[in-house]
Amino acid sequence: MTGTILVTGGAGYIGSVAVKALLKKNYDVVVIDNLSKGLKKLVDSKAKFYELDLVDDLSKVFEENKIDAVIHFAAYKAVEESMENAVKYSDNISGTINLLNCMVKYSVKKIIFSSSAAVYGEANGVLSENHDTNPCNYYGFTKLECEKIIKWYSKVHGIGYVCLRYFNVAGDGGLRYLDPDAKNIFPIIMEVLVKKREKVVIFGKDYDTRDGTCVRDYIDINDLVDAHLLALDVDYNGIINLGTSKGASVKELVDWTSEVIGRQVPFEYGKRRAGDPAELIASNEKALKILNWKPKRTVKDMIKSTYDAYKESFE
């Protein structure tokens, strides 16, 4: 595909890296972001930027640009907050509907949607796309609803779609992004290293895993973005997991970070958290088959790139 790609959420952690990658592939790029979390400075100046909320009138964007496809990253994504503020998180759904209605009106025929492993809920083990979906938080519910609505718009209006269910995205995409509101294990470990936190708390050490701590599937942001570029070009409508088919335990993350950085990461064990499954890993067979995509970066690569970003900002 060539032409103009509309990137929603293009000022965020993943979207801003995708914008750069698209520009590098000679696409024209238009970004919509409400800057609720994203930062304008992360958006490459070669992209055309609109500070807009997806629930607002978007016609200006579609009138002023001939959009060929949409990569839809924009969403609120804090799981706990979604359980406290369903009104805010419902915008994930209404914003998506608003966007799809514009796509119908302006004859835009393809969307790549950022979905999440959160649609599977309290699943355990290696998950294929056929695994039952049963979100256990409102954030995951909004993602699943969006997937369903997109599928219907595809049926009714012939919009091509790929819903990509990301597992745990990590690493630096070259923009030195620091999570302003760290809730995930990678930025938490980094905050300990740069002395913004005292120690890493590992929740639970008696899970049925190789070292008793929870295992998750970490995917490098650059590999993730590559998958989006490939998805633009496939003639396939459906859902694809994005993960590595491998997992790392929390204790391994702490140990590998100590090894990569050459300094012990202080940690302690805490109690299990409610609702944390022992192991969550993506089967990525379908991504390989449909997108011809394979992750290239390792967890140690992710640790190294994230640390470089944090080190630069704190030293």
Ligand X SMILES: NC(=O)c1ccc[n+]([C@@H]2O[C@H](COP(=O)([O-])OP(=O)(O)OC[C@H]3O[C@@H](n4cnc5c(N)ncnc54)[C@H](O)[C@@H]3O)[C@@H](O)[C@H]2O)c1
The residue within the footprint of ligand X, chosen from 6, 15, 49, 301 (CB under 6 A), is 15
- Contact status: 9 vs ligand X (CB under 6 A): yes
Q: Which of 6, 7, 13, 310 binds ligand X (CB under 6 A)?
A: 13
Residue 54 CB, shortest distance to ligand X, in Å, is 4
Q: Which of 76, 120, 139, 177 is catalytic?
A: 139
For tokens 């406290």, what's the residue? 84
Q: Is position 146 an interface residue for ligand X (rule: CB under 6 A)?
A: no
One of 27, 50, 76, 161 touching ligand X (CB under 6 A) = 76
Q: Is 70 in the site for ligand X (CB under 6 A)?
A: no
159: three-class secondary structure by DSSP: coil
Q: CB–CB of 146/96 below 8 Å?
A: yes
Cβ proximity to ligand X, 117 vs 254, nearer residue: 117
Is 166 strand, coil or helix? strand
Considering the complex, state which of residue 193 and residue 221 has its C-beta at the smaller distance from ligand X: 221
Q: At what angle do helices 185-193 and 250-261 cross, to 10 degrees?
A: 40
Q: Which is nearer to ligand X, 9 or 202 (CB)?
A: 9
Residue 143 CB neighbour total at 10 angstroms? 27
Residue 267 binds ligand X, judged by CB under 6 A: no
Show the site string, 188-227: x = touches ligand X by CB under 6 A, - = not. ----------------------------------------
Nearer to ligand X, 181 or 268 (CB): 181
Structure tokens at 50: 């609109």
Contact 209, 272 (CB under 8 A): no
284 near ligand X, rule: CB under 6 A: no
Residue 89: which of 79, 103, 102 has the closest Cα? 79
Residue 149's Cα: distance from chain center in Å? Answer: 19
C-alpha dist (Å) from residue 253 to 84, 257, 284: 30, 6, 21
Contacts of 19 (CB under 8 A, 6+ apart): 7, 10, 29, 31, 43, 44, 47
Query: Which member of 28, 91, 172, 301 binds ligand X (CB under 6 A)?
Result: 91
Instruction: Report the C-alpha gap between 44 and 63 in whole angstroms.
Output: 22
How many residues bind ligand X (CB under 6 A)? The answer is 28
- Within 10 Å of residue 69's Cβ, how many Cβ atoms? 22
The amino acid at 245: S
- Closest approach, Cβ 264 to ligand X, in A, equals 26
State the binding string over 164-193 for ligand X (x if CB under 6 A, else -).
--x-xx------------------------
For ligand X, which stretch binds (CB under 6 A), given 30-38, 120-128, 149-157, 287-295?
Answer: 30-38
89 is catalytic: no
**3-class DSSP assignment, residue 239:** strand
Q: Which residues are catalytic?
A: 139
Which residues would be at the binding site for ligand X (CB under 6 A)? 9, 11-15, 32-38, 53-55, 73-77, 91, 95, 114, 116, 166, 168-169
